[in-house]
Amino acid sequence: MSALNDRVKTSSGFYVTQEAPIQTDNAIPTPSVPAPDILRCAYMELVVTDLAASREFYVDVLGLYVTEEDDAAIYLRSTEEFIHHNLVLRQGPIAAVAAFSYRVRSPEELDVAVAFYSELGCRVERRSEGFTKGIGDSVRVEDPLGFPYEFFYQTEHVERLSWRYDLHTPGELVRLDHFNQVTPDVPRAVKFMQDLGFRVTEDIQDDEGTVYAAWMRRKPTVHDTAMTGGDGPRMHHVAFATHEKHNILAICDKLGALRRSDAIERGPGRHGVSNAFYLYLRDPDGHRVEIYTQDYYTGDPDNPVVTWDVHDNQRRDWWGNPVVPSWYTEASLVLDLDGNPKPVVARTDDSELEVTIGADGFSYTREGDEEKGFKLGNTL
Amino acid sequence: MSALNDRVKTSSGFYVTQEAPIQTDNAIPTPSVPAPDILRCAYMELVVTDLAASREFYVDVLGLYVTEEDDAAIYLRSTEEFIHHNLVLRQGPIAAVAAFSYRVRSPEELDVAVAFYSELGCRVERRSEGFTKGIGDSVRVEDPLGFPYEFFYQTEHVERLSWRYDLHTPGELVRLDHFNQVTPDVPRAVKFMQDLGFRVTEDIQDDEGTVYAAWMRRKPTVHDTAMTGGDGPRMHHVAFATHEKHNILAICDKLGALRRSDAIERGPGRHGVSNAFYLYLRDPDGHRVEIYTQDYYTGDPDNPVVTWDVHDNQRRDWWGNPVVPSWYTEASLVLDLDGNPKPVVARTDDSELEVTIGADGFSYTREGDEEKGFKLGNTL
Amino acid sequence: MSALNDRVKTSSGFYVTQEAPIQTDNAIPTPSVPAPDILRCAYMELVVTDLAASREFYVDVLGLYVTEEDDAAIYLRSTEEFIHHNLVLRQGPIAAVAAFSYRVRSPEELDVAVAFYSELGCRVERRSEGFTKGIGDSVRVEDPLGFPYEFFYQTEHVERLSWRYDLHTPGELVRLDHFNQVTPDVPRAVKFMQDLGFRVTEDIQDDEGTVYAAWMRRKPTVHDTAMTGGDGPRMHHVAFATHEKHNILAICDKLGALRRSDAIERGPGRHGVSNAFYLYLRDPDGHRVEIYTQDYYTGDPDNPVVTWDVHDNQRRDWWGNPVVPSWYTEASLVLDLDGNPKPVVARTDDSELEVTIGADGFSYTREGDEEKGFKLGNTL
Amino acid sequence: MSALNDRVKTSSGFYVTQEAPIQTDNAIPTPSVPAPDILRCAYMELVVTDLAASREFYVDVLGLYVTEEDDAAIYLRSTEEFIHHNLVLRQGPIAAVAAFSYRVRSPEELDVAVAFYSELGCRVERRSEGFTKGIGDSVRVEDPLGFPYEFFYQTEHVERLSWRYDLHTPGELVRLDHFNQVTPDVPRAVKFMQDLGFRVTEDIQDDEGTVYAAWMRRKPTVHDTAMTGGDGPRMHHVAFATHEKHNILAICDKLGALRRSDAIERGPGRHGVSNAFYLYLRDPDGHRVEIYTQDYYTGDPDNPVVTWDVHDNQRRDWWGNPVVPSWYTEASLVLDLDGNPKPVVARTDDSELEVTIGADGFSYTREGDEEKGFKLGNTL
């Protein structure tokens, strides 16, 4: 649900408010203890079913750098990273996400995290030697939304490769930008993430107050993670940033040259939300990877919150290009701390796909349009 | 029909041959006199039904430069052009194309053109004062394929604005690149254009020898015009070139900002054919405009001819993104020399849309695929 | 002075350390009270001698957006800014800097700032109505280094123009990135800025421990300000960021078209320090403006500090292109709180210009080179 | 000498004329027989003194593709080339140019070339098996200006790699663009090249009619070769084109990463002449290589000829950045048909370096300036 009264319409067609206009009547209780001080999303641990195929995708095609590898796992980082890795590929029986891992400001924040999640009754596990190579003392939890979250500070430092232009490729991935999670009840998830210290930067709603998705940040970009409404808990995508837009186009061109263009699921395009230039790929297991560049600074406490109308056909693609249905419906399983897939709970709120497409939905290019400019029909 | 025997498959999945592998059993007779020596496609004359709306699109949105204008017509050019115009917008009752105009190498070539088309029995009209402002002695014909073609040499010179970076926009259109025509019988059209002195650079065929489209050039780029199989004679699009790919993305971004994203029909994307980066727009009358950059040099007489399999899903978009049906089916009427629309004749050869999409068609990403990677289904 | 023992040489030729290896024996005492919590550099107030000429430069040439203006002052912002301004141009008798203004995290931080600077014995002035339009309660100080610093939280919000691509220019400036200050004693200045809560990200030193410049940040980029060794206090430059490198090139092209290429002082080029792509301009009063893009994330507490050897010819320009002498020697005066220019004190430490260029200096492309690749000589 | 009466000043500060305004009183007689029909500059044969070092530069650093190689020579091509090579590196005792090679329109044009140069009394050698691998029947001459020119039609076809994005690098060189020759008497050289069928597109002159350089083309770009005034015959540079400007910047960045930034002699920058974005490198033997992109179409017979004032400080660099003296004074020797270096004859006309720089020269940013904006002085 959402309070829409104070929003101001911008000249670009969306709204701004001072506070995230999201409310829930199904809140997870706010802990009495403080939340850990999170710096940023730091790495994702992915379980893949064919490690060699995944290595080819992430290393040979996307050009991520191998910090370390063995028969069971590969530790990858992006160009400017100085911590051990941004992505772990681990061979396993079922494609899934083992951890959404965040870096905290100091070693002491791990105690804070333990207290925070313990009060919430979550399963919490701590390993002083870390859960993955290159990472020290770490806490993993099954959070109240069902996601496997990790927090750590200690890590091996590795060389930042920003100046190593001799190694760079045309589609160079310079940084891990964000995660994106699928959850049935977005307002409930947002409220919990706010308790964890995240701030909402943008969201998609309708006039009835249904919230379809919300973006939240710790570092001053549009997000460290987002909550996408759908059957969950599942992982929607992990995103890496490039410096320029042509880098993203180069990835598409290379996939074409390799006759792997079917790895391109959606885009490239310009997001309405975040204003970033984007591309969505699917890895050999179907895990979705976004390539992303040029959102905006959000670090001020009064950073205006942007709200998009779900029927605005430019919200997800500023150029009005259609969102493929698989992008709405498919996502990766997440694992519990024993490595078993979490059961998926169905969304009961309206589906963004259904309210915007087809007989039961509508979208507009200009407010007041009677479906003019709604381009999906044209592609049938 | 097409001779497929001598073609060589490249490592990129298409074929090359030394001669355009297109044959017709329905040829227009080759004139006994020489064809005029054509330099390049020079301008298109478009009839538009709302001159103010068209001006807004081509001048305010796309940034073409006004050389001259009055109540009835606007004369526009691209950045590096030194002849009077590349596009004429003329107010009229029915949206259509009044002329595909080519520049010839000398004033004397107009006599050659008159003789060439007269022998073919075509209607030919010559005006020493030109048919449009800024252009001198000109010949207009209704060619054997039904298109209104113009030839001229004399023109007023205007200032090339390449160095006037103070006037340039993020989506700067630097040059007229090519025309694209819709015609029912592509081999017949190609044979005629070869008689007119054009050389085939690329085409799309199937193993049965059906030709779906062909690209032909005078200047050493991939084309000055192309023949697209379909109900015709109609005009498929007129294309302007930018310097870089981000210029094309900037046009999309601007259309979004203006809440005109529904002017984007297809793309942006990378063509398989031509290897160019592209975008298709529709103007206020539905005339299709392509923005295009970075094809390749074709000026050697033995330039390899590229042949694409119609079922190769990367032929029209190297990234395998679907072609919207409107792009196949919609096109602009063309006018006869009296200004009346030419009747449209239906294509009887197979339709590219039907052989590649849906129950009766198929496409592949990798040869031998059983429709894996055929992405249109995913967008329904 | 500098502790060089723990540094590690990278494969790119510079060094990294865990702590800023800068020490001073001439420290300003550390206040007993906390420093204000600074978010970011927010705006600079420039005194200009010809407001119309400055407007033409910053608005017509560089494309900054006018939030407000009157006969005495112009308030400008960059594309994605939502606070009132990033630059104030104020008509005055002497070209100078009236304020380096920083935004703090909350209104309460102004009391903290007053206490911090008061204990240091600095002149402190507070105005609840602000010193410039659009800014509320503010504190201005003459800091111990002689610079006019401002702190504020309250500000009018304005529309972020990131989505207004219809307004963008080829050289779009999207964000204020940083300041750069000239001061005689860099280690002393760095120590004071660390007390103010800044963290060093990079510096330039020699093996004798002389520090030539240091870069310091609050927001997680390479800097919010830098200290450049030289006669001071003076302002070296103010920097705006673009999204891509071609945007910077477009500014150069436009200056050429306007026959104002003499406004280009240095660049474009790639910095060694910061890894950013850069350009330095001089405004009509000689105030230096940098255009800058694509440095790296520095927000982790253990972000590796990069140290460059002053004799490394790629430290200031990664391509080894020479730094023009004016860039080292010229800078803008700064004003005290009465509006009078601060006296300039001469640097007594070695000059970077002299130790790297000419008979008394040297530079290398590859360590151990005997001046091979030192390119300035070639330009004489 | 030059006829300046009919020139028209453009809004960009240079002049246009209809005919190349260059005259000579020292002409090489025009042959009575026709000139060969030249398509384009096709390849250069370079003698290098350390084949391994040259291979590292052209293949590992610049990314040219090896078509063939053995112990004595390497045959390289650019991305979109379909003929055997664009550059031959041949091991030899003295760094020099063995051939400027042009492709002609048909095999028969070789007879034409033999007759043309024979009438001029030039040494002419023909080899049906070609002078280099991959090239068939060829004619080599010592032309009247002292340069070793080659003409050929027959060549092995190789695969065009434009679609092979999996092989492309960030600094991809897509095409051979042009040669540049140093000759003492530019008007004499231009007149001869016009007899050979070249058309002048741009030149640099002064008001006294001294011609400092001229650009000439066969293919419709600004040039296939240029004549630069200086001691000659020598080779000034060979130029390859990229698609975009960032590709050129990527080459600079990579050279920095390899600690080879001293290979960058001049640039990157924007040319006034040609309007192209450029960079000049020096290979391990000092042979100069230009990287170049985005000039303009020149294929119409009445293409306006652009004339620049030698004192216009934006003629060689549109941003007014200084030209390093080595760029004016250093060049490669050329070989006669026996492989011996041609003696170098001194230029007696004024030197562009001297009339524009220092005590005896001057340059302006705005016509009428008294050396304002002349930036070289600032770099001393």
Select the CATH number that applies to the domain covering B8-27+169-356 from these four: 3.10.180.10, 3.30.70.20, 3.40.50.1970, 3.40.50.1000.
3.10.180.10
**Tens of pLDDT along C223-250?**
999 999 999 999 999 999 999 999 999 9
**Of C164, C168, C254, Cβ closest to residue B170:** C168
For chain B, the C-alpha Rg in angstroms (whole number) is 20
Domain boundaries, chain D: 8-30+169-356, 38-152
Per-residue model confidence (pLDDT) at position D178: 98
Helix, strand or coil for residue B265?
Answer: strand
Closest CA to A130 of A159, A110, A146: A110
Select the CATH number that applies to the domain covering D8-30+169-356 from these four: 3.40.50.300, 3.10.180.10, 3.20.20.70, 3.30.200.20.
3.10.180.10
C247 CA: distance to closest CA in chain B (Å): 9
B157 interfaces chain D, CB cutoff of 8 Å: yes
In whole angstroms, what is the distance from residue D128 CA to residue B358 CA? 56
Q: If chain D, 380 residues long, is cut into consecutive pieces of 10 residues, what is the mean pLDDT of each piece?
A: 74 89 91 98 98 98 98 98 98 98 98 98 98 98 98 98 98 98 98 98 94 98 98 98 98 98 98 98 98 98 97 97 95 98 97 88 86 49
B98 CA: distance to closest CA in chain A (Å): 28
Q: Which helix (H) or strand (E) holds D307?
A: strand D305-309
Ordered DSSP codes for D45-68 = EEEES-HHHHHIIIIIIT--EEEE
In whole angstroms, what is the distance from residue B193 CA to residue B102 CA? 13
Per-residue model confidence (pLDDT) at position B73: 98
Q: Which of A277, A312, A321 to mutate to probe the B interface, most B CBs <10 Å?
A: A321
- Considering the domain delimited by A8-30+171-351, tell me its CATH architecture: Roll (3.10)
The pLDDT-based confidence of A292 (bands split at 50, 70, 90) is very high
Closest CA to A295 of C80, B147, B170, B217: C80
| Range A295-312 average pLDDT | 97
Per-residue model confidence (pLDDT) at position B380: 43
Q: Which long-range contacts (CB under 8 A, 24 or more apart) does B367-372 make?
A: B367/B13, B367/B309, B367/B312, B372/A262
The pLDDT-based confidence of A370 (bands split at 50, 70, 90) is low
A38-152 fold:
2,3-Dihydroxybiphenyl 1,2-Dioxygenase; domain 1 (3.10.180)
**Of A256, A268, A379, Cβ closest to residue B379:** A379
Closest CA to A74 of A63, A93, A59, A61: A59
Contact B261 A12 (CB under 8 A): no
| Range A150-179 average pLDDT | 98
The pLDDT-based confidence of C375 (bands split at 50, 70, 90) is low
B257 CA: distance to closest CA in chain C (Å): 5
Q: Which two tokens stand for residue C344?
A: 């300039």
Per-residue model confidence (pLDDT) at position D370: 66
Helix, strand or coil for residue C194?
Answer: helix
**Tens of pLDDT along A130-147?**
999 999 999 999 999 999
| Range C260-278 average pLDDT | 98
Q: Which two tokens stand for residue B225?
A: 């015009």
In whole angstroms, what is the distance from residue A332 CA to residue A147 CA? 12
| Range C304-319 average pLDDT | 97
Per-residue model confidence (pLDDT) at position D22: 84
C-chain residues near A14 (CB < 8 A): 163
* Residue C282 phi, psi (nearest 5): -120, 130
**Tens of pLDDT along C149-198?**
999 999 999 999 999 999 999 999 999 999 999 999 999 999 999 999 99
Bridge partner list, C270: C277
B251 CA: distance to closest CA in chain C (Å): 9
Work out the end-to-end distance of chain C between its first and last CA atoms, rounded to an integer number of angstroms: 34
Contact (CB, 8 A) for B239 and B180 = yes
Contact (CB, 8 A) for A264 and B321 = yes
D-chain residues near C13 (CB < 8 A): 259
Contact A380 B375 (CB under 8 A): no
Looking from the CA of D59 toward its CB, the CA atoms found within 13 Å total 16
Handedness of CA B262, B263, B266, B268 (dihedral sign): negative
Q: If chain B, 380 residues long, is cut into consecutive pieces of 10 residues, what is the mean pLDDT of each piece?
A: 74 89 91 98 98 98 98 98 98 98 98 98 98 98 98 98 98 98 98 98 95 98 98 98 98 98 98 98 98 98 97 97 96 98 97 88 87 49
| Range A175-196 average pLDDT | 98
Please state at what angle helix D245-257 crosses helix C245-257, rounded to 10 degrees.
Answer: 120
- Cβ neighbours for C24, distance < 8 A, ≥ 6 positions apart: C1, C185, C187, C188, C190, C191
Per-residue model confidence (pLDDT) at position A66: 98
Q: Which long-range contacts (CB under 8 A, 24 or more apart) does C119-122 make?
A: C119/C31, C119/C32, C119/C33, C120/C28, C120/C29, C120/C31, C120/C144
Contact (CB, 8 A) for D204 and D227 = no
Per-residue model confidence (pLDDT) at position D377: 46
Q: Please, what is the average pLDDT of chain C? A: 95
What burial class does residue B23 get, using C-beta atoms within 10 Å of its C-beta: 0-12 exposed, 13-18 middle, 19+ buried?
middle
* Percent of chain A at pLDDT exceeding 90: 91
Ordered DSSP codes for A179-244 = EEEEES-HHHHHHHHHHTT-EEEEEEE-TT--EEEEEEESSSSS-SEEEEESSBSEEEEEEEE-SS
Q: Which two tokens stand for residue B155?
A: 């023109």
Nearest CA in chain A to D260: A166
Nearest CA in chain D to B10: D159
A359 interfaces chain D, CB cutoff of 8 Å: no
C-chain residues near B257 (CB < 8 A): 163-167
What burial class does residue A362 get, using C-beta atoms within 10 Å of its C-beta: 0-12 exposed, 13-18 middle, 19+ buried?
middle
Per-residue model confidence (pLDDT) at position B19: 74
Q: Which two tokens stand for residue A379?
A: 């592609």
Looking from the CA of A185 toward its CB, the CA atoms found within 13 Å total 16
C67 CA: distance to closest CA in chain B (Å): 20
Per-residue model confidence (pLDDT) at position B379: 45
For residue B166, give the amino acid letter.
Answer: D
B246 interfaces chain C, CB cutoff of 8 Å: yes
Per-residue model confidence (pLDDT) at position C379: 44
Name the CATH superfamily for C11-30+169-319+327-350: 2,3-Dihydroxybiphenyl 1,2-Dioxygenase, domain 1 (3.10.180.10)
Contact (CB, 8 A) for C113 and C139 = yes
Contact B261 A320 (CB under 8 A): yes
Token look-up 């209704």 returns B142
For chain D, the C-alpha Rg in angstroms (whole number) is 20
**Of B103, B220, B304, Cβ closest to residue D160:** B304
B31 CA: distance to closest CA in chain A (Å): 43
Bridge partner list, D270: D277
In whole angstroms, what is the distance from residue D321 CA to residue D279 CA? 13
Closest CA to B351 of B374, B317, B332, B328: B328
A107 interfaces chain D, CB cutoff of 8 Å: no
Contact C299 A219 (CB under 8 A): yes
